[in-house]
Amino acid sequence: METRRLGKNGLEVSALGLGCMGMSFGYGPPQNKREMIALLRAAVEKGVTFFDTAEVYGPFTNEELVGEALAPFRGTVKIATKFGFKPSASDPAKWNELDSRPEHIKQVAEASLKRLKTDAIDLFYQHRVDTGVPIEEVAGAVADLIREGKVRHFGLSEAGLQTIRRAHAVFPVTALQSEYSLWWRKPEEEVIPTLEELGIGFVTFSPLGKGFLTGAIDEHTLFDKTDFRNVVPRFAPEARKANQGMVDLLGNIAKEKNATPAQIALAWLLAQKPWIVPIPGTTKLNRLEENLGATSIELTQDDLREIEHAASQITITGARYPESSERMVDR
């Protein structure tokens, strides 16, 4: 698989990474650990070198899974994880409060290193911007960890323009992680031009619209009671019905290319900028193989213009987060 460079400090990763959250958290019950270890190792064998996790996924269990699965490959793979959440004071089972105090960041780093079975975190993201802590202090704390050799690169997730600029002025930000896909294109307005100006890579989560752009979900699909999509407005049955046009568009192009809708959605992202790295998640080997097939699909300028024209006629319905989560997104 081709590789791509994130930022200006030498972080080189596979053109497609693997988002690991759904193996332990978010999309229904945790998957079988032995099967997920096998899937992670199969990804390495197929050329994936970039894996995404976070302490809050589980919490902790996803980092432990990734650490155990990838321990034999630490010389060849890059692992990204995140800090910035803490348990709710009123309900410790809910990790829905923010904490990016420097002392907390350093505590999280030490714990994550143990769970990941490694001596250095390749990419350490602030998971959500904590307005209670100046971003300069956050950047300074991660810079300290980098100087100590415990972290290699600094990242931000769902950060706004001013936060990105302020953080980058203190210590170079290697990558921003945010949602970007054919059904969430807001980053094109200001974020992508800013990243290009500053030389920051873009790691795109939910590149398949949390599964919707694969064509495997329609208005009648029922999710497990523990699946967070149950509370996402964009996944209300009426919104899914209204948004079917985007899936139909991808399906039509996929037929022309002898591909799948998911592959076209990923190929479109890869064609946007050479420093964009999507991290689709999956728990199934056949879906992993399907996603990786996107790297061999070439979309011509005519193809991209056709997609752009058709997509511009489609209005996407529904917010991408419930209100409680939307409040945590930096503007």
Separation between Cα atoms, residue 15 and residue 277, nearest integer Å: 6
- Could you give the angle at which helices 244-257 and 301-312 cross, rounded to 10 degrees? 160
Helix (H) or strand (E) holding 38: helix 33-45
Separation between Cα atoms, residue 258 and residue 247, nearest integer Å: 16
Rounded to a whole number, what is the distance in angstroms from the first to the last CA of the chain? 35
What single string gives the DSSP state of each residue in 45-100?
HTT--EEE--TTTTTTHHHHHHHHHHGGGTTT-EEEEEE-EE--SS-TT---EE--
Separation between Cα atoms, residue 43 and residue 154, nearest integer Å: 24
321 in catalytic set? no
Q: Which of 57, 125, 180, 321 is catalytic?
A: 57
- Which amino acid makes up residue 255? K
Separation between Cα atoms, residue 135 and residue 164, nearest integer Å: 9
Instruction: Give the phi and the psi of residue 233 in degrees, each rounded to 5.
Output: -55, -35
CB 227 within 8 A of CB 26: yes
Burial of 1 (0-12, 13-18, 19+ CB in 10 A): middle
CB 240 within 8 A of CB 221: yes
Task: List, by residue number, the catalytic residues.
Answer: 57
